[in-house]
Amino acid sequence: MGEYSKAIVSTTTRDGRQVYLSGVAKPPQPGLDEALSSVLASLSNHSYSELNGDRVVLEARKMLESQGFKVESLEIYVSHRCPMCGASINITPETVIYVCPYCGWTGDVYGHSLAFKVWPAPPREAVEEAARRLGGVLDNATLYYVPFWVFRVNVTGEYTGTAVYTVQRTERVPVRRNRETEWVTVVRTETRTKKVAGKIRFETLKGAFGRLYAEIFGAGELKSWVEHSWQTNPPKEMDPPELKKYAENFLSAEVSDEEALGLLRKEIDTEIYREIETSAARQVEGALTEVQIEYLSTQVNTPEKHLVYVPYWFFTYKVKGNLYAGSLVGPTATIIRAERYISNAERVAKMMSAWVAVLVTGAFTEFALRYDVGWGFLVIPLGLLGAYKLASSAFEAAEVV
């Protein structure tokens, strides 16, 4: 007998997750291994999150004590079980989809396998080349495969509302000046309203980041890259042996397809509103200001849904002893975001243009005062803001491109 009693059982939780439950109890006692094993098996009527809590340990302890065991310490561990090779896999509680690092199986935490598509990763040499293009030498580079949900979205619907729009009328108005009457052209802008109605129908492609926290340098650019590349250079399916090679680089998806669609809802709503505006603008003879929607019925269908993994290199590079960060994606090794070194010459150029902006602002102010131009007051803050921006960027260590 060892220093403790231990048991491990393979089971399925109440919410359908395939797990290994292991328990370690002290001190070791005759028959405790077997008792612990059956206690662990009976715990599978709990959900996955309950199993990760402390109450389960108390419950197991009571069960053992009711069978006459004296338990000083008890610990219970939950780990995932690969449905293909049976390996015990450690994943974060947030994970919903993962790649088995042992056999390359891919699927959700409930054991359903799921095929996903992958863009091939550019080699490390491409990252070295990117660092050179940015004027430096590669320092460090890590490859990640980042999960994205991609949906083809079909929207149909109809609306009614009130369009608010403006029309311009030109009038000739008499003005008395030096005892003479002059006719002056006056443009009047009138706001009008009109009842509008119409049908909307459009298709769009949307990508949603598959992680809960956007801990990615250039997350916004990455999303645009995915939505664009899906159309021009679509990804392909990768078979398990190849997946296995890169399994360590795959970030588990923490957002399910339904959650991803929920995250995209706002973007889709924005596009719906834009369609309504386009439709309403065709129904009025002036410039549309807004549409007050009175009735809207829409149907959002997603005929296509894919999980795709995007190869993403995060790297640092050195220029004159300073470190800068960058990121590049996809088979084409596109730099989506990078800090860029600013040379002293560039810094001086920025300072100079800052002074020019100040001088120009000054000249305009004088002009505005002398000739009583109404908009003169606008130039001063704009000019100063421009000068401030240029001058402050000259002092930044790097700029982001």
Residues that bind Zn ion (CB under 5 A): 82, 84-85, 87, 100, 102-103, 105
Measured from the CB of residue 92, what is the shortest distance to Zn ion in angstroms?
Answer: 18
Of the pair 27, 83, the CB lying nearest Zn ion is at 83
Minimal distance in Å, beta carbon 302 to Zn ion?
30
Q: Which is nearer to Zn ion, 22 or 88 (CB)?
A: 88
Based on CB atoms, which residue is closest to Zn ion, 49 or 90?
A: 90
Question: Can you tell me the distance from the alpha carbon of 22 to that of 9, in angstroms, rounded to the nearest whole number?
Answer: 6
d(CA 222, CA 151): 16
Nearer to Zn ion, 145 or 314 (CB): 145
Tell me how far, at minimum, the Cβ of 60 lies from Zn ion, in Å. 28
Q: What is the DSSP string of 71-136?
A: -SEEEEEEEEE-TTT--EE---TT--EEE-TTT--EEETTS-B---EEPPPPPHHHHHHHHHHTTS
Gyration radius of the chain over CA positions:
32
CA distance 252 to 323: 29
What is the Cα–Cα distance from 54 to 65, expressed in whole angstroms?
Answer: 17
Strand partners, 34: none
Q: How far is the CB of 91 from Zn ion (least distance, A)?
A: 12
Residue 208 identity (one-letter amino acid): A
CB of 252 to Zn ion, least distance (A): 14
Closest to Zn ion by CB, 84 or 368: 84
**Cβ 307 to Zn ion shortest distance, Å:** 18
Q: CB-wise, 85 or 115, nearer to Zn ion?
A: 85
Nearest to 351 by CA among 382, 399, 388: 388
Token pair, residue 372, equals: 């009583």
| CA dihedral sign of residues 149, 155, 161, 166 | positive
In the complex, what is the shortest distance from the CB of residue 22 to Zn ion, in angstroms, rounded to a whole number? 18
CB closer to Zn ion, 69 vs 105: 105
Torsion, Cα of 54, 58, 64, 65 (10° steps): 150
